[in-house]
Structure 1
Amino acid sequence: MAAFLVLAVLGVAVWSQVGVMAAEPGPLAEVRANPAITVTDAPEGIVLAPADGASDVGLVFIPGAKVDPWAYAAILQDTAAAGTTVVITRPWLNLAFFDLRGLDSFTSAAPAVSSWAVGGHSLGGVRACQLTADADALVLFGSYCATDLSADDLPTLSLSGSEDGLSTPEKIADARHLLPEDAELVELDGAAHASFGDYGPQAGDGTPTLTDAEMHAEVSSFLAPFLTP
């Protein structure tokens, strides 16, 4: 039995490293060259912060399953430039469900920030819903909760895609009752599941009609004012 468990653990560890979807180099180079933000590869995660250091609001963002955390830097850079410190986590074994760390494991990257939202893409969003007890707001990208937050008074923004083949519009609608009553749900016309990161196409997904630049602008237009009204 012990040998079987060891083999099972090793199998999961190996599987978690196979097929990780890498960040596309072009958008990542754009982030690194952006003069409006600072980019720090910190122990807690990838930290994007306003270049002037003026930020008292933060967002801990959890990647989707087997997606390189750097793939979310480009879509979140404008939100950072607008005044939010963003910490993109590195989930254990590249899967959010295996990462049992609390929110403070990531917020420690920016101790001066006083208000924190938690969010994530796909499986990362499902995990984010489990961490809301210590958060001031919730942000979902192509995701939904498996945790019942319907009785919570928690500001919530859910961005989904009309062409999402994984977190489909039907799945988003079916899980709506688990979100707070006044949650803001926005379906982005033309967005697919992989549109919420810059890591290329994803198996089982729909075909986006938005360009990457259009998608980044759409997300920023909702996310930045939600976090810093």
Structure 2
Amino acid sequence: MKLFIKKKWRYFLLVIPIIIIIIAVYSNDYYRAMPEAKIMLQSNDKVKYIDSPWIEYTSKNKIVTKGLIIYPGGKVEPQAYAPLAEKIAESGFKVVIVPMPLKLAILSPNKAEKVIEKYSEIKQWYIAGHSLGGVMAAQFAYKNQDEINGLILLASYPQKSNNLSSSVVKVLSMYGTRDGFVGKDKIDESKKLLPKSTKWIPIKGGNHSQNAWYGFQKGDNKATITRDEQQNIIGKSIVEFIYEN
């Protein structure tokens, strides 16, 4: 028995360092925010910036009653969504980008709960997600339909288990026509899982990588519009969607 325990303990001591190494390597393998995004991590005359525990922007000199929570794409640094968040906040909203464990929203899909709990002054909440972040944002919206007023999907769609087709949650779905990961076929397939009132916006010439500021994602298609152009379409569409709903 003692021999068995010793062998088991030795095995444990060997495995733990390997696990630590794997986690260290994996956690360093992600898409980093571009300089254009990092320069936006500050307050200005239109918005107030806070960097902890989330990345958030709040419109200044306005009574803010609507908030947007953003779930980043898989393995994408949350700061990559800063320019989009800042631009949306300027229109009179609070926008919160939620960092995820190992930069994977699937590891903490309910993080939006704490944001909603903290800001009781916000009367209407919207949640957005890019790619994997969108899948988890859709899951959160599905499970919290009494708290979420609108869902915004960026190159994403809900899982079959999170069927929102009969939901009162308003939905906006945007995708680039040059997206190398989420093509029109996947978007069309997702229509049966979303309300008939869903607003669909194909971004002509847009790709997957330009949904944020993190460079080019391997496996994506080259966009035929600039990142600025794609971001402007996304930002304007989100602001209009929140105002309308």
TM-score by length of 2: 0.85
Structure 2 regions of 5+ residues with no counterpart? Answer: 1-7
CA distance 1:10–1:100, change in 2 (3 Å)? farther
CA distance in 2, matches of 1:156, 1:12: 38
CA distance 1:29–1:7, change in 2 (3 Å)? same
- AA at the equivalent of 1:224: V
List aligned pairs for 1:1-229, cutoff 5 A: 3=12, 10=20, 13-30=23-40, 32=42, 34-43=44-53, 45-132=54-141, 133=144, 134-146=147-159, 147-229=162-244
Structure 1 regions of 5+ residues with no counterpart? Answer: none
- AA at the equivalent of 1:203: K
Pick 1 or 2: higher relative contact order, CA cutoff 8 A, min separation 6.
1
**Contact 1:159/1:185, CA 8 A, preserved across alignment:** yes
CA distance in 1, matches of 2:48, 2:193: 36
**Contact 1:16/1:94, CA 8 A, preserved across alignment:** no
Structure 1 SS opposite 2:75? coil
CA distance in 2, matches of 1:17, 1:95: 10
Structure 2 SS opposite 1:61? strand
- AA at the equivalent of 2:180: G
| Percent identity between the two aligned chains | 27
**Contact 1:16/1:95, CA 8 A, preserved across alignment:** no
**Contact 1:21/1:66, CA 8 A, preserved across alignment:** yes
Residue by residue, what CA displacement relative to the aligned partner does 1:79-99 show, whole Å, maximum 9, x if unpaired? 110012111001112101111
CA distance in 2, matches of 1:112, 1:13: 39
Q: CA deviation at 1:179?
A: 1.0
Whichever of the two has the greater Rg, that structure is 2
CA distance 1:71–1:138, change in 2 (3 Å)? same
Aligned positions, number: 228
CA distance in 2, matches of 1:142, 1:109: 29
CA RMSD of aligned residues (A): 2.2
CA distance in 1, matches of 2:18, 2:190: 32
**Contact 1:65/1:96, CA 8 A, preserved across alignment:** yes
TM-score by length of 1: 0.90
Q: CA deviation at 1:176?
A: 1.6
CA distance in 1, matches of 2:191, 2:25: 32
Q: CA deviation at 1:33?
A: 6.3
- AA at the equivalent of 2:96: V
Residue by residue, what CA displacement relative to the aligned partner does 1:41-88 show, whole Å, maximum 9, x if unpaired? 121x11111122521000111000110101001122221100121110
CA distance in 2, matches of 1:169, 1:183: 15
Q: CA deviation at 1:13?
A: 3.0
Q: CA deviation at 1:178?
A: 0.9
CA distance in 2, matches of 1:103, 1:41: 16
